[in-house]
Structure 1
Amino acid sequence: MISVKKLSFSYPKKPWLCEEMDLELSEGKIIGLLGLNGAGKSTLMRLMAGLLKPVSGEVSFEGGATFDRSIPFLNQMIFVPEKVSVPEFLKVKEYSSVYQDFYSGFDLDRFEKLLSEFQIIGNQRVSNLSYGQQKKLQIAIGLSTGAKLLLFDEPTNGLDIPSKSTFRRVLSGSLQEDQTMVISTHQVKDIENLVDQIIVLDEGKVKLHADLEELENQFVFSQGPQAPDQAVFVESHLLGAQYIVKQPYGERNSGGSPDLELLFNAVIAGKLAGEFLSTQNQATS
Protein backbone atom coordinates (compact mmCIF):
# COMPACT_ATOMS: atom_id res chain seq x y z
CA MET A 1 0.00 0.00 0.00
CA ILE A 2 2.34 2.77 1.28
CA SER A 3 6.08 2.25 1.13
CA VAL A 4 8.57 4.65 2.74
CA LYS A 5 12.19 3.95 1.85
CA LYS A 6 15.25 5.82 3.16
CA LEU A 7 13.08 8.93 3.53
CA SER A 8 14.78 12.11 4.69
CA PHE A 9 13.09 15.50 4.96
CA SER A 10 13.66 18.83 6.65
CA TYR A 11 12.47 22.37 6.15
CA PRO A 12 15.17 24.93 5.23
CA LYS A 13 17.56 25.62 8.12
CA LYS A 14 15.63 23.26 10.40
CA PRO A 15 16.57 19.90 11.98
CA TRP A 16 15.67 16.70 10.15
CA LEU A 17 12.07 15.64 10.74
CA CYS A 18 12.60 12.37 8.90
CA GLU A 19 16.02 10.78 8.58
CA GLU A 20 16.62 7.57 6.60
CA MET A 21 13.11 6.45 7.53
CA ASP A 22 11.67 3.11 6.41
CA LEU A 23 8.02 2.09 6.74
CA GLU A 24 5.65 -0.37 5.10
CA LEU A 25 1.91 0.11 5.66
CA SER A 26 -0.41 -2.70 4.65
CA GLU A 27 -4.09 -2.79 3.70
CA GLY A 28 -6.97 -3.22 6.09
CA LYS A 29 -5.30 -1.48 9.05
CA ILE A 30 -6.08 1.54 11.20
CA ILE A 31 -2.71 2.94 12.23
CA GLY A 32 -2.10 5.39 15.05
CA LEU A 33 0.77 7.81 14.39
CA LEU A 34 2.13 9.20 17.66
CA GLY A 35 4.94 11.56 18.58
CA LEU A 36 5.80 14.56 20.71
CA ASN A 37 4.89 18.00 19.38
CA GLY A 38 7.26 18.80 16.53
CA ALA A 39 8.22 15.16 15.99
CA GLY A 40 7.12 15.30 12.35
CA LYS A 41 3.73 13.56 12.42
CA SER A 42 1.99 16.13 10.22
CA THR A 43 5.01 16.35 7.93
CA LEU A 44 5.03 12.59 7.40
CA MET A 45 1.31 12.70 6.63
CA ARG A 46 1.91 15.40 4.03
CA LEU A 47 4.73 13.39 2.49
CA MET A 48 2.38 10.41 2.25
CA ALA A 49 -0.24 12.65 0.64
CA GLY A 50 2.30 13.92 -1.90
CA LEU A 51 2.09 17.51 -0.66
CA LEU A 52 5.79 17.62 0.18
CA LYS A 53 8.79 16.37 -1.79
CA PRO A 54 11.37 14.23 0.04
CA VAL A 55 14.89 15.63 0.28
CA SER A 56 16.02 12.07 -0.39
CA GLY A 57 14.45 8.64 -0.46
CA GLU A 58 10.90 7.99 -1.58
CA VAL A 59 7.29 7.62 -0.52
CA SER A 60 5.22 5.47 -2.87
CA PHE A 61 1.64 4.28 -3.11
CA GLU A 62 1.11 1.02 -4.98
CA GLY A 63 4.43 1.54 -6.74
CA GLY A 64 4.04 5.19 -7.77
CA ALA A 65 5.69 8.18 -6.06
CA THR A 66 3.10 10.12 -4.06
CA PHE A 67 4.71 13.46 -4.96
CA ASP A 68 3.86 12.83 -8.62
CA ARG A 69 0.22 13.40 -7.56
CA SER A 70 -1.12 11.23 -10.39
CA ILE A 71 -4.88 11.21 -10.95
CA PRO A 72 -5.21 7.51 -9.99
CA PHE A 73 -3.38 8.21 -6.72
CA LEU A 74 -5.45 11.30 -5.90
CA ASN A 75 -8.64 9.35 -6.60
CA GLN A 76 -7.58 6.77 -4.01
CA MET A 77 -6.25 9.12 -1.29
CA ILE A 78 -7.99 11.58 1.02
CA PHE A 79 -6.07 13.84 3.40
CA VAL A 80 -7.99 15.56 6.18
CA PRO A 81 -5.67 18.17 7.74
CA GLU A 82 -5.83 19.40 11.31
CA LYS A 83 -6.81 22.91 10.23
CA VAL A 84 -9.68 22.94 7.76
CA SER A 85 -10.28 25.62 5.15
CA VAL A 86 -13.86 25.85 3.97
CA PRO A 87 -15.65 27.74 1.16
CA GLU A 88 -17.57 30.81 2.25
CA PHE A 89 -20.83 30.47 0.35
CA LEU A 90 -21.40 26.77 -0.39
CA LYS A 91 -23.89 24.72 1.57
CA VAL A 92 -22.93 21.36 3.04
CA LYS A 93 -24.39 19.24 0.24
CA GLU A 94 -23.05 21.57 -2.45
CA TYR A 95 -19.61 21.31 -0.87
CA SER A 96 -19.79 17.52 -0.71
CA SER A 97 -20.75 17.35 -4.40
CA VAL A 98 -17.24 18.58 -5.27
CA TYR A 99 -15.86 15.40 -3.69
CA GLN A 100 -18.57 13.24 -5.26
CA ASP A 101 -17.49 14.42 -8.70
CA PHE A 102 -13.85 13.59 -8.04
CA TYR A 103 -13.95 10.33 -6.06
CA SER A 104 -15.39 7.54 -8.17
CA GLY A 105 -16.16 5.46 -5.07
CA PHE A 106 -17.99 8.20 -3.14
CA ASP A 107 -20.85 6.68 -1.12
CA LEU A 108 -23.64 9.25 -0.87
CA ASP A 109 -25.81 7.08 1.39
CA ARG A 110 -22.96 6.67 3.84
CA PHE A 111 -22.27 10.41 3.74
CA GLU A 112 -25.87 11.26 4.58
CA LYS A 113 -25.87 8.75 7.44
CA LEU A 114 -22.69 10.29 8.82
CA LEU A 115 -24.20 13.78 8.60
CA SER A 116 -27.08 12.47 10.69
CA GLU A 117 -24.68 10.83 13.17
CA PHE A 118 -22.76 14.09 13.52
CA GLN A 119 -25.97 16.17 13.64
CA ILE A 120 -25.09 18.32 10.63
CA ILE A 121 -27.88 19.72 8.43
CA GLY A 122 -27.24 19.49 4.68
CA ASN A 123 -28.65 22.91 3.78
CA GLN A 124 -26.43 24.82 6.23
CA ARG A 125 -23.68 27.02 4.86
CA VAL A 126 -20.32 25.42 5.58
CA SER A 127 -18.89 28.76 6.74
CA ASN A 128 -21.65 29.06 9.35
CA LEU A 129 -20.71 25.78 10.99
CA SER A 130 -18.66 25.85 14.18
CA TYR A 131 -15.04 24.69 14.02
CA GLY A 132 -16.02 21.35 15.53
CA GLN A 133 -18.85 20.90 13.01
CA GLN A 134 -16.49 21.72 10.14
CA LYS A 135 -14.10 19.05 11.43
CA LYS A 136 -16.96 16.53 11.59
CA LEU A 137 -18.00 17.45 8.05
CA GLN A 138 -14.47 16.80 6.77
CA ILE A 139 -14.39 13.47 8.63
CA ALA A 140 -17.75 12.48 7.10
CA ILE A 141 -16.51 13.36 3.62
CA GLY A 142 -13.25 11.48 4.16
CA LEU A 143 -15.02 8.32 5.32
CA SER A 144 -17.42 8.49 2.36
CA THR A 145 -14.91 8.83 -0.47
CA GLY A 146 -14.16 5.12 -0.77
CA ALA A 147 -10.45 6.00 -1.03
CA LYS A 148 -7.92 3.26 -0.28
CA LEU A 149 -5.67 5.58 1.72
CA LEU A 150 -7.21 7.79 4.40
CA LEU A 151 -4.90 10.25 6.17
CA PHE A 152 -6.47 12.02 9.15
CA ASP A 153 -4.32 14.59 10.96
CA GLU A 154 -5.53 15.30 14.52
CA PRO A 155 -9.17 14.50 13.60
CA THR A 156 -10.51 14.78 17.16
CA ASN A 157 -9.09 18.27 17.83
CA GLY A 158 -12.03 20.61 18.29
CA LEU A 159 -14.55 17.82 18.90
CA ASP A 160 -16.57 17.69 22.10
CA ILE A 161 -16.81 14.47 24.12
CA PRO A 162 -20.03 13.17 22.47
CA SER A 163 -18.56 13.86 19.01
CA LYS A 164 -15.37 11.97 19.90
CA SER A 165 -17.51 9.01 20.94
CA THR A 166 -19.40 9.21 17.65
CA PHE A 167 -16.12 9.38 15.73
CA ARG A 168 -14.87 6.21 17.40
CA ARG A 169 -18.19 4.46 16.85
CA VAL A 170 -18.50 5.23 13.14
CA LEU A 171 -14.86 4.33 12.54
CA SER A 172 -14.85 1.08 14.47
CA GLY A 173 -15.25 -1.82 12.07
CA SER A 174 -15.93 0.46 9.09
CA LEU A 175 -12.64 -0.02 7.23
CA GLN A 176 -12.75 -2.20 4.13
CA GLU A 177 -10.10 -4.84 3.46
CA ASP A 178 -8.45 -2.75 0.73
CA GLN A 179 -8.32 0.45 2.81
CA THR A 180 -5.63 1.83 5.10
CA MET A 181 -6.20 4.64 7.58
CA VAL A 182 -3.46 6.62 9.31
CA ILE A 183 -4.54 8.78 12.25
CA SER A 184 -2.00 11.28 13.54
CA THR A 185 -2.82 12.45 17.06
CA HIS A 186 -1.38 13.57 20.37
CA GLN A 187 -4.66 12.73 22.11
CA VAL A 188 -3.78 9.10 22.67
CA LYS A 189 -6.93 8.18 24.59
CA ASP A 190 -9.06 9.14 21.58
CA ILE A 191 -7.77 6.21 19.53
CA GLU A 192 -7.51 3.49 22.18
CA ASN A 193 -9.42 0.33 21.22
CA LEU A 194 -9.62 1.68 17.67
CA VAL A 195 -6.21 1.22 16.03
CA ASP A 196 -4.62 -2.05 14.86
CA GLN A 197 -1.05 -0.76 14.68
CA ILE A 198 0.96 1.97 16.33
CA ILE A 199 3.85 4.04 15.00
CA VAL A 200 5.88 6.23 17.34
CA LEU A 201 8.12 8.94 15.87
CA ASP A 202 10.95 10.59 17.78
CA GLU A 203 14.05 12.48 16.69
CA GLY A 204 13.41 11.83 13.01
CA LYS A 205 13.19 8.08 13.47
CA VAL A 206 10.52 5.41 13.75
CA LYS A 207 11.06 4.26 17.33
CA LEU A 208 8.25 1.70 17.22
CA HIS A 209 6.02 0.21 14.54
CA ALA A 210 4.03 -2.70 15.90
CA ASP A 211 0.73 -4.54 15.79
CA LEU A 212 -1.11 -4.01 19.06
CA GLU A 213 -2.09 -7.67 19.08
CA GLU A 214 1.59 -8.65 19.00
CA LEU A 215 2.43 -6.20 21.78
CA GLU A 216 -0.48 -7.60 23.75
CA ASN A 217 0.93 -11.10 23.34
CA GLN A 218 4.47 -10.15 24.33
CA PHE A 219 3.90 -7.68 27.17
CA VAL A 220 1.60 -7.23 30.15
CA PHE A 221 0.28 -3.70 30.75
CA SER A 222 -0.90 -3.50 34.35
CA GLN A 223 -1.03 -1.48 37.56
CA GLY A 224 -0.83 -2.15 41.27
CA PRO A 225 0.50 -0.91 44.60
CA GLN A 226 4.04 -1.70 43.47
CA ALA A 227 5.69 -2.61 40.16
CA PRO A 228 7.50 -5.95 39.95
CA ASP A 229 11.30 -5.92 39.77
CA GLN A 230 11.27 -7.25 36.19
CA ALA A 231 9.15 -4.36 34.87
CA VAL A 232 10.36 -2.93 31.57
CA PHE A 233 8.84 0.48 32.30
CA VAL A 234 7.22 2.00 35.40
CA GLU A 235 5.21 5.16 36.04
CA SER A 236 4.51 5.87 39.70
CA HIS A 237 1.41 7.69 40.94
CA LEU A 238 -0.31 8.39 44.26
CA LEU A 239 -2.09 5.03 44.39
CA GLY A 240 0.82 2.90 43.25
CA ALA A 241 2.29 2.29 39.79
CA GLN A 242 1.48 1.52 36.19
CA TYR A 243 3.96 -0.80 34.53
CA ILE A 244 4.89 -2.96 31.56
CA VAL A 245 6.45 -6.39 31.97
CA LYS A 246 7.42 -9.09 29.49
CA GLN A 247 4.84 -11.79 28.98
CA PRO A 248 6.04 -15.06 30.58
CA TYR A 249 7.58 -17.39 27.99
CA GLY A 250 4.99 -19.61 26.32
CA GLU A 251 2.02 -17.60 27.56
CA ARG A 252 -0.07 -15.42 25.28
CA ASN A 253 -3.12 -13.17 25.40
CA SER A 254 -3.04 -12.63 29.15
CA GLY A 255 -1.92 -9.02 29.13
CA GLY A 256 -5.09 -7.27 28.01
CA SER A 257 -5.22 -4.29 25.66
CA PRO A 258 -2.07 -2.14 25.75
CA ASP A 259 -2.37 1.20 27.50
CA LEU A 260 -1.34 3.47 24.62
CA GLU A 261 -0.30 6.37 26.82
CA LEU A 262 1.92 4.10 28.92
CA LEU A 263 3.25 2.47 25.75
CA PHE A 264 4.06 5.86 24.19
CA ASN A 265 5.86 7.09 27.31
CA ALA A 266 7.88 3.87 27.46
CA VAL A 267 8.98 4.21 23.84
CA ILE A 268 9.92 7.89 24.19
CA ALA A 269 11.92 6.99 27.31
CA GLY A 270 13.76 4.34 25.28
CA LYS A 271 12.52 1.51 27.50
CA LEU A 272 10.34 -0.51 25.16
CA ALA A 273 11.38 -0.21 21.52
CA GLY A 274 14.67 -2.08 21.96
CA GLU A 275 13.00 -4.74 24.10
CA PHE A 276 10.26 -5.31 21.56
CA LEU A 277 12.59 -5.37 18.58
CA SER A 278 14.89 -7.84 20.28
CA THR A 279 12.00 -10.24 20.93
CA GLN A 280 10.90 -9.83 17.33
CA ASN A 281 14.39 -10.66 16.09
CA GLN A 282 14.57 -13.72 18.30
CA ALA A 283 11.19 -14.88 17.04
CA THR A 284 12.27 -14.60 13.39
CA SER A 285 15.84 -15.88 13.73
Structure 2
Amino acid sequence: MTVKQFEMISIKELNFSYPKKPSLCEGLNLQLEEGKVIGLLGMNGAGKSTLMRLMAGLLKPVSGEVNFGIYPTFDRAVPFLNQMIFVPEKVSVPEFLSVKEYVGVYKDFYEGFDLDKLENLLVEFKIVGDQRISNLSFGQQKKLQIAIGLSTGAKLMLFDEPTNGLDIPSKSTFRKVLSGSLQEDQTMVISTHQVKDIENLVDQVIVLDEGMIKLHADLAELENEFVFSQAAKAPEGAIYVESHLLGAQYIARQFESVGDLGGSPDLELLFNAVIAGKLTGEFLSTQNQVTS
Protein backbone atom coordinates (compact mmCIF):
# COMPACT_ATOMS: atom_id res chain seq x y z
CA MET A 1 0.00 0.00 0.00
CA THR A 2 1.36 3.43 -0.92
CA VAL A 3 1.09 6.74 0.84
CA LYS A 4 -0.72 8.12 -2.21
CA GLN A 5 -3.87 6.33 -1.03
CA PHE A 6 -3.87 8.44 2.12
CA GLU A 7 -3.54 11.89 0.58
CA MET A 8 -6.95 13.36 1.16
CA ILE A 9 -10.45 12.86 2.45
CA SER A 10 -13.26 13.15 -0.07
CA ILE A 11 -16.91 13.87 0.71
CA LYS A 12 -19.45 13.59 -2.09
CA GLU A 13 -23.15 14.50 -1.96
CA LEU A 14 -23.25 13.82 1.77
CA ASN A 15 -26.63 13.74 3.48
CA PHE A 16 -26.91 13.11 7.20
CA SER A 17 -29.44 13.55 9.97
CA TYR A 18 -29.96 12.04 13.39
CA PRO A 19 -33.18 10.03 13.90
CA LYS A 20 -36.23 12.29 14.25
CA LYS A 21 -34.02 15.39 13.87
CA PRO A 22 -33.75 17.95 11.05
CA SER A 23 -31.11 17.28 8.41
CA LEU A 24 -27.61 18.47 9.35
CA CYS A 25 -25.98 17.98 5.95
CA GLU A 26 -27.61 18.10 2.55
CA GLY A 27 -25.58 17.42 -0.60
CA LEU A 28 -22.32 18.43 1.06
CA ASN A 29 -19.15 18.15 -1.06
CA LEU A 30 -15.63 18.61 0.24
CA GLN A 31 -12.06 17.58 -0.54
CA LEU A 32 -9.15 17.98 1.86
CA GLU A 33 -5.60 18.02 0.57
CA GLU A 34 -2.59 16.53 2.28
CA GLY A 35 -0.12 18.75 4.09
CA LYS A 36 -2.73 21.25 5.28
CA VAL A 37 -3.89 22.48 8.68
CA ILE A 38 -7.57 23.28 8.26
CA GLY A 39 -9.71 25.28 10.63
CA LEU A 40 -13.32 24.08 10.71
CA LEU A 41 -15.27 27.02 12.09
CA GLY A 42 -18.89 27.30 13.08
CA MET A 43 -21.20 28.30 15.89
CA ASN A 44 -22.38 25.76 18.44
CA GLY A 45 -24.86 23.42 16.76
CA ALA A 46 -23.61 24.16 13.24
CA GLY A 47 -22.66 20.52 12.67
CA LYS A 48 -18.89 20.69 13.17
CA SER A 49 -18.65 17.71 15.54
CA THR A 50 -21.02 15.69 13.36
CA LEU A 51 -18.88 16.34 10.28
CA MET A 52 -15.75 15.36 12.22
CA ARG A 53 -17.37 12.10 13.32
CA LEU A 54 -18.41 11.34 9.76
CA MET A 55 -14.81 11.85 8.68
CA ALA A 56 -13.66 9.56 11.49
CA GLY A 57 -16.12 6.85 10.48
CA LEU A 58 -18.06 7.04 13.74
CA LEU A 59 -21.29 7.99 11.96
CA LYS A 60 -22.81 6.53 8.81
CA PRO A 61 -24.08 8.86 6.09
CA VAL A 62 -27.76 8.63 5.23
CA SER A 63 -26.56 8.87 1.64
CA GLY A 64 -23.47 10.01 -0.21
CA GLU A 65 -19.83 9.16 0.42
CA VAL A 66 -17.13 9.95 2.95
CA ASN A 67 -13.87 8.38 1.79
CA PHE A 68 -10.30 8.39 3.01
CA GLY A 69 -8.32 7.46 -0.06
CA ILE A 70 -9.94 4.24 -1.29
CA TYR A 71 -11.64 3.53 2.04
CA PRO A 72 -15.19 4.52 3.02
CA THR A 73 -14.62 5.84 6.53
CA PHE A 74 -17.61 4.08 8.08
CA ASP A 75 -16.18 0.69 7.04
CA ARG A 76 -13.47 1.35 9.66
CA ALA A 77 -10.88 -0.66 7.73
CA VAL A 78 -7.64 -1.21 9.65
CA PRO A 79 -5.46 0.63 7.05
CA PHE A 80 -7.72 3.67 7.51
CA LEU A 81 -7.78 3.47 11.30
CA ASN A 82 -4.00 3.13 11.37
CA GLN A 83 -3.72 6.45 9.52
CA MET A 84 -6.41 8.43 11.37
CA ILE A 85 -6.60 9.84 14.89
CA PHE A 86 -9.72 11.52 16.28
CA VAL A 87 -9.47 13.55 19.47
CA PRO A 88 -13.02 14.39 20.59
CA GLU A 89 -14.06 17.46 22.53
CA LYS A 90 -14.99 15.40 25.58
CA VAL A 91 -12.18 12.99 26.42
CA SER A 92 -12.90 9.64 28.01
CA VAL A 93 -9.84 7.77 29.23
CA PRO A 94 -9.41 4.63 31.40
CA GLU A 95 -8.51 6.17 34.74
CA PHE A 96 -7.12 2.93 36.20
CA LEU A 97 -4.12 3.09 33.83
CA SER A 98 -0.96 5.12 34.22
CA VAL A 99 -0.01 7.61 31.52
CA LYS A 100 2.74 5.25 30.33
CA GLU A 101 0.37 2.27 30.13
CA TYR A 102 -2.22 4.30 28.25
CA VAL A 103 0.38 5.53 25.76
CA GLY A 104 1.38 1.91 25.13
CA VAL A 105 -2.08 1.14 23.73
CA TYR A 106 -1.58 3.73 20.97
CA LYS A 107 2.11 2.94 20.44
CA ASP A 108 1.29 -0.65 19.62
CA PHE A 109 -1.47 0.27 17.15
CA TYR A 110 0.03 3.13 15.14
CA GLU A 111 2.97 1.94 13.10
CA GLY A 112 4.31 5.49 12.79
CA PHE A 113 4.09 6.33 16.50
CA ASP A 114 6.95 8.62 17.59
CA LEU A 115 7.74 7.92 21.24
CA ASP A 116 10.45 10.58 21.40
CA LYS A 117 7.99 13.22 20.20
CA LEU A 118 5.44 12.01 22.76
CA GLU A 119 7.93 12.31 25.61
CA ASN A 120 8.87 15.83 24.52
CA LEU A 121 5.21 16.84 24.30
CA LEU A 122 4.50 15.45 27.77
CA VAL A 123 7.32 17.61 29.09
CA GLU A 124 5.83 20.66 27.35
CA PHE A 125 2.43 19.87 28.87
CA LYS A 126 3.94 19.09 32.29
CA ILE A 127 2.57 15.54 32.42
CA VAL A 128 4.60 12.80 34.15
CA GLY A 129 4.55 9.32 32.61
CA ASP A 130 4.11 7.36 35.84
CA GLN A 131 1.08 9.41 36.94
CA ARG A 132 -2.23 7.60 37.12
CA ILE A 133 -4.77 9.07 34.76
CA SER A 134 -7.25 9.25 37.65
CA ASN A 135 -4.94 11.83 39.24
CA LEU A 136 -4.98 14.09 36.19
CA SER A 137 -7.37 17.01 35.90
CA PHE A 138 -9.73 17.23 32.93
CA GLY A 139 -7.40 19.74 31.28
CA GLN A 140 -4.40 17.45 31.79
CA GLN A 141 -6.31 14.48 30.37
CA LYS A 142 -7.12 16.54 27.32
CA LYS A 143 -3.50 17.60 26.90
CA LEU A 144 -2.51 13.94 27.15
CA GLN A 145 -4.90 13.10 24.30
CA ILE A 146 -3.51 15.97 22.22
CA ALA A 147 0.08 14.83 22.84
CA ILE A 148 -0.78 11.25 21.86
CA GLY A 149 -2.65 12.41 18.76
CA LEU A 150 0.30 14.48 17.56
CA SER A 151 2.66 11.53 18.13
CA THR A 152 0.75 8.84 16.24
CA GLY A 153 2.19 9.71 12.84
CA ALA A 154 -1.35 9.44 11.41
CA LYS A 155 -1.89 11.02 8.01
CA LEU A 156 -5.29 12.41 9.06
CA MET A 157 -5.66 14.13 12.42
CA LEU A 158 -9.11 15.25 13.55
CA PHE A 159 -9.16 17.47 16.65
CA ASP A 160 -12.62 18.53 17.84
CA GLU A 161 -12.54 21.69 20.02
CA PRO A 162 -9.03 20.86 21.32
CA THR A 163 -8.66 24.06 23.35
CA ASN A 164 -11.91 23.71 25.29
CA GLY A 165 -11.02 23.04 28.91
CA LEU A 166 -7.47 24.38 28.57
CA ASP A 167 -6.27 27.37 30.56
CA ILE A 168 -4.53 30.29 28.87
CA PRO A 169 -0.93 28.99 29.34
CA SER A 170 -2.00 25.56 28.03
CA LYS A 171 -3.60 27.14 24.96
CA SER A 172 -0.32 28.92 24.30
CA THR A 173 1.58 25.64 24.66
CA PHE A 174 -0.91 23.94 22.32
CA ARG A 175 -0.23 26.52 19.62
CA LYS A 176 3.51 26.17 20.16
CA VAL A 177 3.64 22.37 19.92
CA LEU A 178 1.22 22.19 17.01
CA SER A 179 3.20 24.61 14.86
CA GLY A 180 6.21 22.29 14.91
CA SER A 181 4.56 18.87 14.94
CA LEU A 182 3.15 18.20 11.46
CA GLN A 183 4.88 16.56 8.51
CA GLU A 184 4.27 17.51 4.88
CA ASP A 185 2.11 14.44 4.21
CA GLN A 186 -0.17 14.95 7.21
CA THR A 187 -3.53 16.71 7.22
CA MET A 188 -5.06 18.17 10.36
CA VAL A 189 -8.61 19.40 10.80
CA ILE A 190 -9.23 21.51 13.90
CA SER A 191 -12.87 22.13 14.74
CA THR A 192 -13.52 25.15 16.95
CA HIS A 193 -15.85 28.02 17.65
CA GLN A 194 -13.02 29.85 19.44
CA VAL A 195 -11.34 31.17 16.33
CA LYS A 196 -8.64 33.16 18.15
CA ASP A 197 -7.20 29.90 19.49
CA ILE A 198 -6.10 28.74 16.03
CA GLU A 199 -5.04 32.03 14.50
CA ASN A 200 -1.67 31.76 12.71
CA LEU A 201 -1.92 27.94 12.81
CA VAL A 202 -4.16 27.09 9.87
CA ASP A 203 -3.53 27.07 6.10
CA GLN A 204 -7.17 26.79 5.10
CA VAL A 205 -10.47 27.71 6.66
CA ILE A 206 -13.88 26.08 6.31
CA VAL A 207 -16.93 27.91 7.65
CA LEU A 208 -19.86 25.62 8.37
CA ASP A 209 -23.29 27.04 9.07
CA GLU A 210 -26.57 25.13 9.27
CA GLY A 211 -24.91 22.05 7.81
CA MET A 212 -23.66 23.91 4.75
CA ILE A 213 -20.13 24.93 3.80
CA LYS A 214 -20.35 28.67 3.38
CA LEU A 215 -16.64 29.13 2.65
CA HIS A 216 -13.62 26.91 2.01
CA ALA A 217 -10.52 28.91 1.16
CA ASP A 218 -6.75 29.16 1.51
CA LEU A 219 -5.74 31.92 3.92
CA ALA A 220 -2.83 32.90 1.67
CA GLU A 221 -5.26 33.48 -1.19
CA LEU A 222 -7.62 35.44 1.04
CA GLU A 223 -4.70 37.64 2.07
CA ASN A 224 -3.83 38.24 -1.60
CA GLU A 225 -7.39 39.20 -2.48
CA PHE A 226 -8.61 41.08 0.58
CA VAL A 227 -7.48 43.60 3.16
CA PHE A 228 -8.27 42.83 6.79
CA SER A 229 -7.66 46.04 8.67
CA GLN A 230 -8.95 48.74 10.99
CA ALA A 231 -9.16 52.50 10.68
CA ALA A 232 -11.08 55.51 11.95
CA LYS A 233 -13.42 54.92 9.03
CA ALA A 234 -13.84 51.96 6.71
CA PRO A 235 -13.18 52.65 3.01
CA GLU A 236 -16.02 53.01 0.55
CA GLY A 237 -17.00 49.66 -0.88
CA ALA A 238 -15.81 47.62 2.10
CA ILE A 239 -17.36 44.16 2.01
CA TYR A 240 -17.84 43.89 5.76
CA VAL A 241 -17.51 46.41 8.60
CA GLU A 242 -17.62 46.12 12.39
CA SER A 243 -17.76 49.45 14.19
CA HIS A 244 -16.22 49.97 17.61
CA LEU A 245 -15.26 52.85 19.89
CA LEU A 246 -11.96 53.57 18.14
CA GLY A 247 -13.27 53.30 14.60
CA ALA A 248 -13.95 50.23 12.49
CA GLN A 249 -12.57 46.85 11.55
CA TYR A 250 -13.24 45.94 7.96
CA ILE A 251 -12.68 43.59 5.05
CA ALA A 252 -12.22 45.12 1.62
CA ARG A 253 -10.86 44.06 -1.72
CA GLN A 254 -7.19 44.94 -2.23
CA PHE A 255 -7.93 47.31 -5.13
CA GLU A 256 -10.42 49.23 -2.96
CA SER A 257 -7.86 49.91 -0.20
CA VAL A 258 -5.04 51.72 -1.97
CA GLY A 259 -2.11 52.20 0.39
CA ASP A 260 -3.48 49.79 3.00
CA LEU A 261 -1.88 46.38 2.80
CA GLY A 262 -3.67 45.25 5.95
CA GLY A 263 -2.46 42.13 7.70
CA SER A 264 -3.01 38.40 7.74
CA PRO A 265 -6.69 37.41 7.68
CA ASP A 266 -8.46 38.06 10.97
CA LEU A 267 -10.31 34.76 11.47
CA GLU A 268 -12.93 36.20 13.80
CA LEU A 269 -13.70 39.04 11.39
CA LEU A 270 -13.73 36.59 8.48
CA PHE A 271 -16.05 34.21 10.32
CA ASN A 272 -18.47 36.99 11.24
CA ALA A 273 -18.50 38.23 7.64
CA VAL A 274 -19.29 34.76 6.29
CA ILE A 275 -22.04 34.09 8.85
CA ALA A 276 -23.55 37.48 8.01
CA GLY A 277 -23.59 36.52 4.33
CA LYS A 278 -21.20 39.33 3.38
CA LEU A 279 -18.33 37.12 2.24
CA THR A 280 -19.02 33.90 0.37
CA GLY A 281 -17.50 31.97 -2.50
CA GLU A 282 -18.92 34.40 -5.06
CA PHE A 283 -16.62 37.14 -3.72
CA LEU A 284 -13.50 35.09 -4.41
CA SER A 285 -11.67 34.93 -7.70
CA THR A 286 -12.26 31.58 -9.40
CA GLN A 287 -8.61 30.60 -9.02
CA ASN A 288 -8.59 31.49 -5.33
CA GLN A 289 -11.48 29.37 -4.05
CA VAL A 290 -10.68 25.83 -2.91
CA THR A 291 -12.78 23.25 -4.74
CA SER A 292 -15.50 21.94 -2.47
TM-score past 0.5 threshold: yes
Match of 1:208 among 197, 204, 215: 215
C-alpha separation between the residues in 1 aligned to 2:261 and 2:179? 23
C-alpha separation between the residues in 1 aligned to 2:55 and 2:121? 26
Task: Tell me whether 1:107 sits opposite 2:119 in the alignment.
Answer: no
Contact 2:127/2:140 (8 A) holds in 1: yes
Task: Tell me whether 1:77 sits opposite 2:84 in the alignment.
Answer: yes
Aligned pairs (5 A) from 1:135-154: 135-154=142-161
* Cα shift readout 1:2-21 (whole Å, capped 9, x = no counterpart): 00100011111212111100
AA matched with 1:40: G
* Cα shift readout 1:263-285 (whole Å, capped 9, x = no counterpart): 000000000114434x226999x
Contact 2:215/2:280 (8 A) holds in 1: yes
* Cα shift readout 1:193-245 (whole Å, capped 9, x = no counterpart): 00000000012210000000000000000111111121000011111110000
Q: Are the structure 2 counterparts of residues 70 and 130 from structure 1 closer, same or farther at C-alpha, using a change threshold of 3 Å?
A: same
Q: Are the structure 2 counterparts of residues 187 and 274 from structure 1 closer, same or farther at C-alpha, using a change threshold of 3 Å?
A: same
Q: How big is the alpha-carbon RMSD for the aligned residues of Structure 1 and Structure 2?
A: 1.8
Structure 2 unaligned blocks of 5 or more: 1-7
Task: Tell me whether 1:125 sits opposite 2:132 in the alignment.
Answer: yes
Secondary structure at the aligned position of 1:3 is classed as strand
Quote the offset at 1:174 in angstroms: 2.3
Task: Tell me whether 1:30 sits opposite 2:37 in the alignment.
Answer: yes
AA matched with 1:171: L
Identical pairs, percent: 79
Structure 1 unaligned blocks of 5 or more: none
Secondary structure at the aligned position of 1:248 is classed as helix
Quote the offset at 1:127 in angstroms: 1.6
Contact 2:218/2:289 (8 A) holds in 1: no
Match of 1:59 among 57, 62, 66: 66
C-alpha separation between the residues in 2 aligned to 1:63 and 1:209? 23
C-alpha separation between the residues in 1 aligned to 2:36 and 2:130? 34
Contact 2:113/2:153 (8 A) holds in 1: yes
4+ residue segments displaced more than 3 Å: 281-284
Contact 1:39/1:201 (8 A) holds in 2: yes
AA matched with 1:214: E
C-alpha separation between the residues in 2 aligned to 1:276 and 1:25? 21
Aligned pairs (5 A) from 1:232-251: 232-248=239-255
Contact 2:59/2:74 (8 A) holds in 1: yes
Task: Tell me whether 1:3 sits opposite 2:7 in the alignment.
Answer: no
Quote the offset at 1:247 in angstroms: 1.1
AA matched with 2:107: Q
Quote the offset at 1:98 in angstroms: 0.3
Contact 1:217/1:255 (8 A) holds in 2: no
C-alpha separation between the residues in 1 aligned to 2:196 and 2:288? 31
Stretch of structure 1 that moved more, 131-140 or 220-229: 220-229
Contact 2:226/2:253 (8 A) holds in 1: yes
